[in-house]
């Protein structure tokens, strides 16, 4: 835990991983992200104040199975607010799973990379990601941040794991009920691959700040202006 294990590979990222276990992983992410990800707090603190003023367009980079986009859209609708959210993921398996979800008003999914959005000249009010940063080596992380600055008109929220021995131990116990998926084994690998606040701060260019999120999470944040 003292050093980031940048060479560790998550099983679900392997092209020949078990398709059934992969689908189960996408399904179970909904529970994991709702309970552990800290997005309810981020929605209240960062998104709802914007939504109270005007409709907001959100880009969810690396949206995986799509659970976060759907969750945010439902919270906004429950509050009587207007939010549209586009989830993109370069992995065709993730994009396909998300596109097969029951339709939710204001939510769409596409197979795409953040670079594709930049080239297409698309812009959004807010750019977010969840558990993406730890997948990226330093240069790819900086590229993502550069793309995010171009794509976001107001703010960027990259929510990710914060590496610590306590996070590793507690998640290992908490994830025991998740069977038939890659949640537990890949979750532990993700923690080993994740950055500490100091490591993330050192990599981020000027204008970016690392803020505490939920337990064992951190948000790399950028605010325009």
Question: Could you tell me the maximum CA-CA distance found in the chain, to the nearest angstrom?
Answer: 46
> Cα dihedral angle (223, 60, 117, 102), rounded to 10 degrees?
-150
pLDDT in tens, the chain (225 residues): 899 999 999 999 999 999 999 999 999 999 999 999 999 999 999 999 999 999 999 999 999 999 999 999 999 999 999 999 999 999 999 999 999 999 999 999 999 999 999 999 999 999 999 999 999 999 999 999 999 999 999 999 999 999 999 999 999 999 999 999 999 999 999 999 999 999 999 999 999 999 999 889 999 999 998
**What's residue 215's pLDDT?**
87
By CB atoms closer than 10 A (0-12, 13-18, 19+), residue 195 is buried
Specify the fold of 19-161+195-223.
Rossmann fold (3.40.50)
For residue 179 the two structure tokens come to 């069977």
**What's residue 43's pLDDT?**
98
- Report the alpha-carbon distance of residue 147 to residue 121 in Å, rounded: 11
CB 75 within 8 A of CB 43: yes
- Report the alpha-carbon distance of residue 132 to residue 121 in Å, rounded: 22
**What's residue 62's pLDDT?**
98
**What's residue 219's pLDDT?**
98
Whole-model pTM?
Answer: 0.97
**What's residue 208's pLDDT?**
98
First to last CA, the chain: 36
**What's residue 52's pLDDT?**
95
Q: Where do the structural domains in the chain lie, given as residue ranges?
A: 19-161+195-223
């Amino acid at each position: 835990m003292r050093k980031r294990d940048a060479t560790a590979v998550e099983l679900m990222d392997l092209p020949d991983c078990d398709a059934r276990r992969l689908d189960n992983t996408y399904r179970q992410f909904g529970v994991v992200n709702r309970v552990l990800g800290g997005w309810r707090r981020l929605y209240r603190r960062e998104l709802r104040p914007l939504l109270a003023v005007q409709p907001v367009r959100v880009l969810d980079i690396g949206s995986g199975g799509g659970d976060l986009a759907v969750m945010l859209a439902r919270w906004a609708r429950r509050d009587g607010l207007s939010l549209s959210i586009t989830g993109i993921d370069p992995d065709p398996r993730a994009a396909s799973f998300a596109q097969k979800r029951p339709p939710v008003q204001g939510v769409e999914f596409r197979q795409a990379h953040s670079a594709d959005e930049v080239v297409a000249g698309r812009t959004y009010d807010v750019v977010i990601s969840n558990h993406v940063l730890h997948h990226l080596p330093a240069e790819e992380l900086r590229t993502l941040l550069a793309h995010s600055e171009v794509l976001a008109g107001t703010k960027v929220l990259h929510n990710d794991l914060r590496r610590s021995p306590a996070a590793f131990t507690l998640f290992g116990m908490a994830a025991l009920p998740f069977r038939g998926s890659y949640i537990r084994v890949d979750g532990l690998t993700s923690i080993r691959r994740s950055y500490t606040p100091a490591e993330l701060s050192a990599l981020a260019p000027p204008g970016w700040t690392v803020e505490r999120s939920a337990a064992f999470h951190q948000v790399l944040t950028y605010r325009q202006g």
